[in-house]
Structure formats: C-alpha cells, structure tokens
Amino acid sequence: MLPSYWLEIIVLLAGLVLLVLEAFLSPKRKSAIAVPAIFVLIMTLIGVFLAEKGFGEENGELTRYYAFDPMARFFKILTIVATILTLILALDYRKTLSRFTANPDSEDGTGEYYCLFLFACAGMMWMASAADLVSLFVALELTTITSYILVGFMRRSVGSLEAGVKFLILGALSTGFLVYGIAWMYGATGSTNLAEIGQNITEENATYLLFGLALVLISLAFKVGAVPMHLWIPDVYQGAPTPTTAFLSVASKAAGFAIAIRVVEPFLSEGSILAPRVAFILAVLAGATILLGNLAAIPQKNFKRLLAYSSIANAGFILLPLAAWQTGDSDLTSKQVIAFYLAIYLIMTFAAFFVLAVIHRNTGSDEISAFEGLGQRNPLLAFMTAIIVGALAGLPLTAGFWGKFLAFKTAIDAGLWVPVVLGFIGVAAGFYYYFQIIRSMYWRNALDESPFETKPLSFYTIATLTGLIVVLGIWPQPIYWLIGA
Amino acid sequence: MSILLILIPIAAAIAILCGAKAKPTALGAAALNLIPGLGCVFCWKHESWTFFWEVLSKPSIHLSLGFYDGMSVIMVLLSVIVLFTAVMSGKCPEGREKLWYSSILLIGAGALGAFLSTDLFFFYAFHELALIPTFLMIGILGSGERKEAAWKITIYLALGSIVLLAGLIWLVSASGSETWLFKDLLASSIDPGEQTGIAALLIVGFGVLISLFPFHSWAAPAYAAAPAPVAMLHAGVLKKFGLYGLFRLYPMVSSGMQDWLVWLIVLLLCNILWVGFVTINQKRLDTMLGNSSVMHMGYIFLAFAALIHAGSFEANPLAKPAAVVLMFAHGISIALLFMLTDTIRRKTGTVELAELGGLAKAAPRLAFLFGLAAMASIGLPGLANFSGEVLVFLSGFWGYEGGTLGCLQIATILALWGVVISAVYMLRAYRQTFQGPSVDHTNSEHVKDFGPFCQIPAAILAIALLVVGIYPNSLLNLLKEEPAAPAPTEQASH
C-alpha cells in the first residue's frame, strides 16, 4: 500500500522531471508537455483511492504535520481533478498563450506554464492535509508563489502583467497577515499544532488567540476570495490567462476552504469558549461576501469579470455552512456541505470557463455581448451554456441547485437568519445577472451570423461537464459517496 | 406507472431535439399521454401508480410520484387535456418546429411532474423545469413586446420561486420531519410562532406565481406576448401550481395563515375588483384575457380565505372542492379563449378590439365556441366555471348563522360584483369581435371558418366545460375523502 504522503511527492517529482524534459521539446510543440502531466495526475488520482486509509502513529513525527482523513482525501481528489481540467483547458488555449509570450509564431517559452500547475497542485494537496500551522504555511506558500507566475505568465499582455503585480502585492500582504497571526497563536498557546491549540484555549489566552485567528482569517479570506480581501479578484481574474483564472477560482478556493476548515475547526468544536464569537465573525463575513459579490456582479458587462464576482458570491455561500458549523448526526456536517458545494462548484465553474474560452477563440472577446446570437450560430453550445448558466444561478434539477440548497438548509438549521436572508437576496440577484447570458444568446441577434466552431477537446469536455450537471441535478447521491456521507 | 406521464413528453422532446419529425412526434406523445391521464380517473387509488426512488439520503429526498389525493387527479386531468390541445392547435412559425414543440412538451412534463410529485422537493423542482421553456418561448417566439414581457416574467417568477423556496426550506426545517414526503410533512406539526413567518413566505412566493395582487403585473403582458400554446399552458395549468401548493400545505401552517387572513382578503379583493376594472379598460383581446385570468385567481383565493377562516378542511368542507373545480374550469376556459384568440389573430391579423367586428358572419363556428368560452368565463350556469364559482361563494358563507357579517362574508358579497365585471368585459369583447358590421379584413372574403386542426381541440375543451358544468359531481366525486365527513350537500344554493 502506498503511504498517502507519496501522492504529493509524486506530483512534485513529476513537475520537476517534466520541467527538465520540457527543455528538450521543439519550440513548436511545447504544449505537448501537458499530456504526460495529465497522465501523471490521473495516476495520482487512482493513487488517492489506493493510498492507505489511516495515517496513524506508525508514521512517527509526520502525523503532527500531516493528516489523511476523509476530508483530506476529498480535497486531494478535487484538486487533482481541477488541475487535470485546467491542463485540458490550457491545451486549447495554447494559441492565445503563445501570442502573448516570447514568440507569437512558436510555443517558445510556454512549456513551463503546464509544469507550474503541477507544483501548485502538490501545494494544494498538502494544504488539504495540513494539521499544523507550519506545514499549512509552507504548503500555502508553495501554491501562492506558483500562482504569481501563472497569473502574470502572458508577458506581452498588459492586463496579465497588471494582474500579476496586483496579485503579488496583495498576496504578499496576506502572507504577512498569516505569519503574524500564526505568531500570535503560537505565543498564546505555545504550539503550532492545530489540535493542541484547540485543547489549550483558556479564559486567559482567549483574547490573544482571537486576535491571531482574526489575522489568519484575513489571510484565508484572501485565499478564498471573501470580504474583506476580495478586491483583487475581479482584476486578477480578468487579466490572468483563462486557464489560470479557472484554476484560481476552483482549485485555489477549494484549498483555501480546506485549510479554513482545519484552522477554524478547533475553535468551533464543542466546548470551545470562543465558538460563539468565531461563528459570529464567520457569519458576518458570509453575509457581507454574499451581498457584495452578488450585487457587484449585476452591472458587469464582461463575462470573465462576471465569473469573478460570481466566485466571490460563491465564497460567501460556502462560508454559510462554515459559520453554521453543524456536526449533526442525521444531517450532513458543515464540512460535508462545504465539500459537496465545492464539488459541484468545480463542475459548473470549469464548464463556464471552457465556454468562455470557446467564445473568446471565436469572437476575440470576453464580453457578454459576444454571446449574442449564439442560439442561432451554434444551437448545441448555446443549449449547454444555458444549462451551465442555469446551474450557476441555482435552478432546481441542475447540480448547482443542490449546493445552494444544502448550504441554506445548514444555515437555516443553525438559525443564521440575517445571512440567510442576504443569501436569498444574493440568489435573486444571481438569477438576474446569470440570465443575462441566456438573454443575449437567445433573444438578441448577432451581427455575425457565421457558424461557430468548437475544438473537439473543448466540446467533449463541455458536454461531459454539462451531462454531469444534469445527472447530478436529478441524482446527487454519487457526490455523497465521495464526501463519505 | 405515473412516471410514464412525465417520461413520455420528455422523451418526445428529446427525440424532437435529436431530429425526429416535430409535429407528429409531439402530437403522438400528447395523445399517448391522454390515455394514462384520462384513465387514472377510474383507478387512481391503485398502487401501481406510485413510483419511489431516493435521490438523496441526507436530507431525505425522493423522486416520489403518484396521486396524493383527488386534487392531484383533477390537476393531472387538466394538464393532459390542455397539453394535448395546445400541441394540436398551435401554429408554429416556419423553421422553428424543434424549439416550439419540444418547449411545449417540456412545459407539459414539468406541470405533470409538479402535480404528480408526492415529495415537496420535486413538487417545487418540476415547476421550475416548466418555467424555463416558458421564458424562452416568450422571449424567442413571442409577438409584440416579447423581450420586455419575457424579461419581466423571468425576473418576477424567479424571485417568487426563491421566496417560495425559502418558505419551503423553513417549513421542512421547522417541522422536524425526516423526509420531504408530503405524508411525513403533513403528519408533523410546527410551532405557531414560526408558522406566521412561513405562511407569509408561502403567500408571497406562491402569490407571485399565481399573480396575486400586487405581484400580478407580469401576467397580462406575458400572456399577450406569449405564443398561444404557452399562454394556454401557463395560464391554464402552470398557474394553478401555486394554488395547488397552498391547499396542499395548508394543514401545516393553518394557524400561521390565520394571522394573514385580513391581508389576504384585501389582496384578493384587489385581484377581483381592481384588476377587474383594469380588464374592462383593455383595448386588445389578448391583454384583456391576460388580465381576466389574473382577476379570476381572486375567486380561488376567496375559497382559500374561507378555508383559513374555518381553520381546517373539515370545518369548511366546501372550500377545497370549490377551489379545485374552479381551478379546473378556469384552466379549461382560459385555454380555450387563448386558443381562439390566436385563431382570430391568425385569420384577421389583429386583436385590437377596435379593428375587429362582424366575424360571426364569416366564421360562425369560431363565434359560437368563443361565445361559449366567454360565457363559461363569466360563470353562466351549465358551464364548468359556474359550478366552481357557486361553490366558492357558498364556501364564503359556510357556517354563517345570521347576525353581523364577518369580513369574509363582506368580501364574498363584494366578490360577487366580479361576476358583473366579467360580464361587462367579456360581452363587450364578444360584441366588438363578432357582432356588428364586418370590417374589410374580417369579412368572409378574407376569413374562413377554422379548420379541423383547431376545431377538434376547441371541441374537446368545450365538451370538458359542458360536462363539468352539467355534472360537477364528475369532479367532486374524486375529491371525496374516504373516511372523512359526508360530502357537502348543495341544498341552500339559491
């Protein structure tokens, strides 16, 4: 049996090896490096299922830093799937990528792009398992530093560079918050292990711990794109290469929530004197994020920017069950609801980004107006887009509905009335701005009536994801098996 | 077996999207659906109708279908009849057959699914399934101000659905029920304090979908712009979803509804009188029908108010049968009216009342059927709406033993004036359209009486109106509860 920590090591080693091999590829075919990368990730995905279930004493000192529980397993699966999808998206994006890097005619200097995702993936997989603030910090930095490069990768695109700089500055700031917070927590309890911190909450150190936790939460808010650290999202998402945006919006957010659960859990669990206060802070963050993300999305004219605001809004919806913190016996626990939501969020969001990439390739634009007349130019794609957008809005009988449904149900069970009301306002706003896409696809005519071509790779991925949205919309039970409910 | 009723139209819609011949497939599917749809009347209690599949374990949600009670049977009956006639009568614009027929079938499937669900969740979800093709059809293939109307109905109904969903989740959460099945929910009880809030959400949520005043302004423009089959299906069938839901869930929130009774009575009177006057003022046949359908919802709400006033189904055994008969009657009559209006539009090119006249000479059969439907809509004895309306007014006075009039009785008396209002606008519209001198585009040189493809569905609807009108027990017998109190007798009717 494979010890679970080998999974990260495999991905990391594969990244290093592919980086070396990439140098020997012909400049015209650098993107071919994505194929072995995808292969390695699929093998790792199988490995996750084969890996030893428990992670106990026999692993010695490592158990302090590393956990392999059902949540860790689920988040590893999620990260790997997200990275595979990102690489597929990047394969169809290679033309645009090379246009804005060294040489528009060849793929010179784009090979690293594909390898970097592997490093980020390894970091996120480790984040899912982090049981100690130190390992959490190291894993987070591995991911974040890789992301800086991925965002600013299109060197000749001003938008990408601007996004890279913004991301770097705010990311560095949030890292500062994180380290400072960790220091406070360590100072208050004398330990960096999260379980030990949870055991050492007393009346005396509660204030210091809360201050430290607040700092850490600010940094985590940056990671998941929640208020008050949400401002970078629209600009960075819009400027970054589309595969990076998709990766940030799904994998990065999921990893952020994975560590958020780990950090918050000891404070919210039964018997903690800080539980009401921490839950209150989280409820405030959830409400503010939902409201801000959804309302700010309404006036957007650019689909990529719209998806950015929608990603903020979704962070808010995921914060709801976190703030509700149910450990229920008959119902799902909050952790499971978050995992469920993220699994569905992955499907919908990647589907949306694949559609965006197809639209961009055909019309050269990310604007919502680029969707006009799609109903006539490519009825099948328009139909699938309608389903995807409907799922994002949360229509019943699509997968997207179940995520919101469970999140709201958890929050209602916990009696979080104010955030729930804000949540319903947010969903209502969501109907408005998502349906604008459907409106422009079907009710408006395009100036250009020529048919619309989709590359087979993108087309089949969109079709698969749309199929999943519909099937899971009627029968969501399979996700329960993944999250171990 | 009940899943067949949903699967047949959905399968046909998919087949059409994949390239099967649109009209024959759609017509075949709708006709095929008539068999179980009409057949269920005789054997709906049989176990073979139920279908049960757990789609989610926590919270426990089932795709559970079957006939919960006689109300479901009647609504299914209404749905299959209107679906068939809508498929048959509609005239599809050249080249858009796929969208046209698949959308109509999906709307029908959604409506049937909602009425057949015995699980609260799918009851809600199927209705949403029906709404999406409705929005698309109005936006793409509608006429006139279609884009504005479609956007308005989309936003209104989406918002209404969200409010409703909030109410439903709260309802289930407060009931402490293990599952979302109606039978478990209705067996549980809810704290009266919470009931008030839940009832408010349900009234607003369902109210938007039913076009309760003041949430009604989406209805008339949407029906005017919608293609005829969509208007038939939405006004005739889908809109009844909200009323069906209110009556279904009522026992769970009976004391909460009590707190809103006065408000509800005021709103329903606005529906009948205010919207009634608005209807009189309409200059076009289609917007007039749209408004009249909003207005008639007020009567059904009156029956609901009578139910709330009494406190339980047993305390006012007339209220539910009254509402259900009227729902059926209104669904059939408004569908017939929208169908015939579309025929008039196609034959003369206009539905402006001022530009019509003397059509009866050129198209006597059309005139006769339109007259019949208009009379039904007014509430002429012998036609289905009359049975419904009489029962509604009787239910308003159920248990009244003389003395001062309660607010429900006053409301009933005021609502009676609605009949006069409907007579005014319906008869005026009939006179404007069919009587008087012919205009150039309405004389017999341009207009021929309508062909069999429209006659057959119109005849089906007219016969349904007559059957229920002459023998209302055909529906009322379905509503008799097995062990419950003896069925209402119709003595003190006049």
Please indicate, yes or no, if residue B269 is contained in any of the structural domains: no
Assess whether pLDDT exceeds 50 at residue B490: no
Please indicate, yes or no, if residue B275 is contained in any of the structural domains: no
Residues in chain A whose beta carbon is closer than 8 A to a beta carbon of chain B? 330-332, 375, 390, 395-397, 401-402, 405, 408-409, 412-413, 420, 424, 427-428, 431-432, 435, 438-439, 442-443, 474-477, 480, 485
Task: Judge whether A235 and A162 are in contact, CB under 8 Å.
Answer: yes
B90 & B224 share domain:
yes
B480 & B335 share domain:
yes
Cα–Cα nearest to B219, from B302, B289, B126, B144: B289
- Minimum mean pLDDT among A74-83, A257-266, B226-235, B428-437: which range? B428-437
Alpha carbon distance, N-terminus to C-terminus of chain A: 25
pTM for this prediction: 0.89
| Alpha carbon of residue A151 to chain centroid | 15
Helix axes of B364-378 and B384-396: crossing angle, nearest 10 degrees: 10
Give the CA distances from residue B271 to residues A353, B200, B261, in Å, rounded to whole numbers and listed in that order: 46, 18, 15
B308 & B356 share domain:
yes
B342 & B204 share domain:
no
pLDDT digits (tens, 9 = 90+) for B298-330: 999 999 999 999 888 888 888 899 999 999 999
The CA distance from A311 to A248, in Å, is 10
The CA distance from A441 to B425, in Å, is 39
Assess whether pLDDT exceeds 90 at residue B438: no
Q: Coil, strand or helix: which one is A130?
A: strand
Cα–Cα nearest to A335, from A414, A265, A416, A255: A265
B274 contacts chain A (CB < 8 A): no
Token pair in block for residue B391: 């029962």
Cα–Cα nearest to B366, from B347, B340, B346: B340
pLDDT of A75: 95
Q: What is the CA radius of gyration of chain A?
A: 22
pLDDT of B482: 54
| Alpha carbon of residue B329 to chain centroid | 9
Domain extent for B416: 280-494
Cα–Cα nearest to B293, from B327, B341, B242, B264: B327
Please name the amino acid found at residue A383.
Answer: F
B132 contacts chain A (CB < 8 A): yes
B193 & B299 share domain:
no
Please indicate, yes or no, if residue B316 is contained in any of the structural domains: yes
B304 & B239 share domain:
no
Give kind and range of the element (H or E) at residue B61. strand B61-65
Share of chain A above pLDDT 90, in %: 65
Q: Report the pLDDT averaged over residues A265-290.
A: 91
B97 & B168 share domain:
yes
Query: Does B151 sit within 8 Å of A439, measured CB to CB?
Result: yes
Give one DSSP letter per residue of A206-220, joined into a string: HHHHHHHHHHHHHHH
Q: Coil, strand or helix: which one is B249?
A: helix
B252 & B290 share domain:
no
The CA distance from B125 to B131, in Å, is 10
The CA distance from A46 to A57, in Å, is 25
pLDDT digits (tens, 9 = 90+) for B182-212: 888 888 888 888 899 999 999 999 999 999 9
Give the residues across from A132 on adjacent strands.
A193
B3 & B121 share domain:
yes
Q: What are the b/e assignments for A133-168, b being 16+ CB within 10 Å?
A: bebbbebbebbbbbbebbbbbbeebeebbbbbbbbb
Of A408, A428, A480, the CB nearest to B57: A480
B486 & B396 share domain:
yes
B184 & B289 share domain:
no
DSSP secondary structure letter of residue A368: G
Of B58, B129, B136, the CB nearest to A397: B129
Give the CA distances from residue B237 to residues A124, A236, B233, B243, in Å, rounded to whole numbers and listed in that order: 51, 48, 5, 11
Q: Report the pLDDT averaged over residues B389-417.
A: 87
Q: What residue of B is the nearest CA neighbor of A473?
A: B55
Q: Report the pLDDT averaged over residues B384-392.
A: 91
pLDDT digits (tens, 9 = 90+) for A235-260: 999 999 999 999 999 999 999 999 99
pLDDT digits (tens, 9 = 90+) for A23-65: 898 888 888 899 999 999 999 999 998 887 766 667 777 888 8
Which residues on chain A are in Cβ contact (under 8 Å) with B178?
Answer: 330
Overall number of domains in chain B: 2
Place of tokens 């087309």: A459
Give one DSSP letter per residue of B310-375, joined into a string: H-STTT-TTHHHHHHHHHHHHHHHHHHHHHHHHHHHHHHS--BGGG---HHHH-HHHHHHHHHHHH
How many CA atoms are closer than 13 Å to the CA of A213, on its beta-carbon side?
28
| B 151-190 → A contacts, CB under 8 A | 151, 154-155, 158-159, 162-163, 165-166, 169-170, 173, 178
B138 & B246 share domain:
yes
| Alpha carbon of residue B398 to chain centroid | 25
Which residues on chain B are in Cβ contact (under 8 Å) with A397?
Answer: 125-126, 128-129
Query: Does B58 sit within 8 Å of A485, measured CB to CB?
Result: yes
pLDDT of B444: 67
Q: Coil, strand or helix: which one is B462?
A: helix
